[in-house]
Structure 1
């Protein structure tokens, strides 16, 4: 799957770019380059919410990212972390212009890489989305991005960033993850991006964490704004865009990026916020697709990712792009522009004459039983009526009678007092 590029092209361009580096190349051993290394975190035993949301185990029967090389341009990647051991190449340190990108002083790059490839371990809830991919670490920063803004991008010069991109291409990267952000266009970076596009590399970049809450337009992030790059915003566990995730036409898709769990340097895990940590979830999805269908071009992989995104709570104008990334749909669904294919007609069902005759007989018996049942019910009703009327008819000798009123139904009538008068028996005249 990995594609090796001729080193001659890189050597020529790299020589031109490295002349702009202002940092000296220290002659220290790799562990000694960290001046103020971050402390390792505690081991996470619970399943993080972003894993429950994306459910990568559904897609692993189809792809685990095997054979795909994902370059992580960041603060380096600590290859000694138990969940990253054997999954990280030595890489390149663009700050020192020397081999050895597998060292991380601040955990940022280690966290990003772990979201992509961290192995499953007993008793550990966190793991990566594409565990069989390989990380190519390119070290461009010694400062971390804090939880609300990507300040790591400010430490990266355009020449160093461009060199890192081109080095990743030459090292055979199939996907390049860029979780650091520049806030000014740079011609060297733009040329390096175009070089990666020309070499069929899927490019994924953070959309930035400097949302202005409507006070003024968000600053334009690079390389997310360049053509050929998938710009990634961040949502929380409710599917809502996190406050700092930027809004703009450079947001092509969103992924979990609020309080997501990832690895720290050396051992352990921590919770992280920002588009920096949503970006590797899209990069891991690209790795899964490239492993499942190595013949797809980078443009086709990008189109697949965007077309299979789940509906989001908001539209592109509100920083959600095409929706929320869905690794399972991205790997298992297919896109086509061909016309619908007519299916052949269904075969005729064979007729069973004997079964048809039995069905007709049972239908006839059913109708007969219905009519017989109705007739018997009518006779039963008639008998019951006669049984109730015959005794009464005999008592009244079949003469009509009025029903006797009950004492309570009789109205009270005031009877007139009796008046007595005498009738004269004879008359006398005077």
Structure 2
């Protein structure tokens, strides 16, 4: 049995940030994840208008220039009072900006669904990506469950959960069922504690609950980032390595982790729900998974069903009808002039072969004759033979003068 949410108390004083974060620097270039997903292609069909996306996180800074007018008051689940539009660590602001940040002159970064409205639900004063962070209140199962229910009651049609619990909690599971029963698309980070094979990755919640889209993270090469977890709770992956997003106060920073891949999928859900408001949450989820692009690995390698593709998710339609056969390709029309022209070129080619070959032989003969003619003139066209070498001189015992001695005549008898 679902219990009714507690009445909302009057808004208390806003919290004082005990560990404020660096406001970062202004981003000028277009981040890689926006060049990859190319949200401008989707905007002629949908910008996420009239869709509320709840961001359960550290809050969202509504004073950031790119978030102004796009952030509702929301709810502070830590204090049990309205006012989720305050962020002490920038984590929630970064997540919300990936979804709905507006375009700004001179700034390359902007959100995927700038027409959506962010409903910030504040559950933590720590950076959920920083394991060594200390100080400040953080989420518990009770607070998390309260945040989910509040997001549903605030009218959110998509809930992004980039804060991860590493233990099962009954209150959170019941809150997830509460949202699923009310036709809300739930998206959660798959966690950043991959163990590199040393031991199984810890199970992340609420990503492991039924009805929740678990999101892993890839880098600009399409490879799973090292810390992105592997398990059956990873349904799809999205850019999450070195992505640019807004920081509190004013500026931008580079972020890593599944926390920043999840809002890419939440923004895609908002785009679909804006374009086709009659689709159920299950149909939206099915559309996102069915239109994912192929990844570098399969589900067992932490890639789920592939890489989210907002354009395909919005523009492609799913159907249960039988495939429709396309008509056969038409016959190529007969072109008499083209046939005649081809025949003329064929004849010309044959003549060129028969004429060119003898000419080539003649040219070779002329070249050989030109090389031999000077030599023939020098020899007067007579054959030349090598000269006979002189006979060797015999060795004589007599002196050399004996060689020239005149023999005496034989006496007559």
Q: Tell me which interval the TM-score lies in, with the shorter structure as reference length.
A: 0.7 to 0.9
Q: Which moved more, 1:263-272 or 1:369-378?
A: 369-378
Q: What is the aligned partner in structure 1 of residue 299 from structure 2? A: 316
CA contact (8 A) 1:41 1:267 kept: yes
> Partners in 2 of 1:376 and 1:35 — Cα distance?
93
Residues 210-257 of structure 1, C-alpha deviation per residue, up to 9 Å, x if partnerless? 334445433222110001111122344454444443332212233333
Does the residue aligned with 1:405 lie in a helix, a strand or coil? Answer: coil
The 10-residue stretch of structure 1 (273-282 or 112-121) with the greater mean CA deviation from structure 2: 273-282
Which residue pairs with 1:251 in the alignment? 234
Residue 24 of structure 2 corresponds to which residue in structure 1?
A: 42
* Residue 411 to residue 291, structure 1, CA distance change in 2 (3 Å): farther
Deviation at 1:204, TM superposition (A): 0.5
Deviation of 1:375 after TM superposition, in Å, equals 5.4
The equivalent of 1:222 in structure 2 is 205
Distance (whole Å) between structure 2 residues aligned to residue 49 and residue 386 of structure 1: 69
For 1:91, the equivalent position in structure 2 comes to 74
- The reply on whether 1:194 has 2:177 as its aligned counterpart is yes
Q: Tell me the alpha carbon deviations over residues 79-114 of structure 1, each in whole angstroms, 9 at most, x when there is no partner.
A: 222111111122233334433332333332222111
- Structure 1 residues 353, 424: closer, same or farther in 2, change over 3 A? same
**Matched residue SS, 2:145:** helix
Aligned pairs (5 A) from 1:125-274: 125-148=108-131, 155-274=138-257
The 3 A distance-change label for structure 1 pair 358 and 234 is closer
The 1-side partners of 2:321 and 2:406 are apart by 125
Matched, 1:415 2:392: yes
Contact 1:150 1:209 in 2 (8 A): no
Cross-structure match for 1:5: none
Task: Name 2:399's counterpart in structure 1.
Answer: none
Partner Cα distance (2:303, 2:279) in 1: 26
Q: Which residue pairs with 1:28 in the alignment?
A: 12
Q: Secondary structure at the match of 1:247?
A: coil
Q: Deviations over 1:297-337 (max 9, x none)?
A: 33333233334444445543343333433334433455566
Moved more, 370-379 or 43-52: 370-379
Aligned equivalent of 2:385: 405
Q: Is the 8 A contact 1:148 1:209 kept in 2?
A: no
The whole-number CA distance in structure 1 between the counterparts of 2:134 and 2:215 is 17
Residue aligned with 1:230, SS: strand
Does the 8 A contact of 2:72 with 2:118 survive in 1? yes
Cα 1:277–1:404, aligned 2, differ >3 Å: closer, same or farther? Answer: same
Q: Which runs of 5+ in 2 are unaligned?
A: 396-402
Match of 1:13 among 4, 20, 24: 4
SS state at 2:274 partner: helix
Count matched residues. 402
Give the Cα separation in 1 of the matches to 2:148 and 2:182. 12
1:320 counterpart SS class: coil
Instruction: Kindly provide the CA deviation profile for residues 48-104 of structure 1, in whole angstroms up to 9, marking residues without a partner as x.
Output: 343344343343344322232211112222222211111112223333443333233
Write the distance in 2 (CA, Å) between the matches of 1:196 and 1:27.
25
Verify the 8 A CA contact 1:147 1:272 in the aligned structure 2: no
Which among 56, 68, 82 is matched to residue 73 of structure 1? 56
Distance 1:190 1:152, change over 3 A: farther
Structure 2 vs 1, CA of residues 256 and 151 (structure 1 numbering), >3 Å: closer, same or farther? farther
Query: Deviation at 1:167?
Result: 2.8
Picking from 268, 287, 299, the partner of 1:285 is 268
Kept in 1: contact 2:52–2:157 (CA 8 A): yes
Q: CA deviation at 1:117?
A: 0.6
Number of the residue aligned with 1:6: none
Conserved? CA contact 1:253–1:306, under 8 Å: yes
Alpha carbons of structure 1 residues 378 and 26: separation in structure 2 relative to 1, 3 Å = closer
CA-based RMSD of the aligned residues comes to: 4.0
- Within 2, Cα distance between the matches of 1:417 and 1:226? 118
CA contact (8 A) 2:20 2:89 kept: yes
Residue in 2 that maps onto 1:112 = 95
Give distance in 2, aligned partners of 1:258 and 1:153. 26
Q: Which runs of 5+ in 1 are unaligned?
A: 1-8, 19-23
